[in-house]
Amino acid sequence: MAIWFREYRLEELDKIGKGNMVSHLGIEFVEIGEDLLKARMPVDGRTRQPFGILHGGASVVLAETIGSYAANMVADYPNKIFVGQEINANHIRPVRSGSVTGTARPLHIGSTSQVWEIRICDDQERLVCISRITMALARSINQKGKG
């Protein structure tokens, strides 16, 4: 049984990212599994740092994007909205070209907080970055529409 609050489509997730940092960096969602969410990001001029390798900040943007989407997909969005409270990342190996794919899986799903692990791999499926994000409940609207 899937962990998601309802059924989602990849096109629906990509539409949410239009006109903001998600689309600017070329992030696209590629898989919604029973307990995972995957997105891909190109390694190009938008995401490289001056030394020609994937910018660590771009990896963190990818990780936070996937973790944030996933956290809200298990909640009753938009009645409950989860936002990032803390994120960390360890950069394991450099990437110069191609793309990277991040996979988010939950470590904890609570009523007011969630913790997600995001593993980012290169096109050869080698670990590039490991990240963990803590999501906090920012807003909850009860049945009568009051927060």
Show which residues are catalytic.
64
In sequence order, the β-bridge partners of residue 81 are 139
Closest of 145, 85, 74, 144 to residue 111, by C-alpha: 74
- H-helix or E-strand containing 59? helix 56-74
| Secondary-structure breakdown of the chain: helix, strand, coil percentages, each rounded to the nearest 5 | 20, 40, 40
**What is the C-alpha R_g of the chain?**
15
User: Would you say 26 and 41 are in contact if contact means Cβ atoms under 8 Å apart?
Assistant: yes
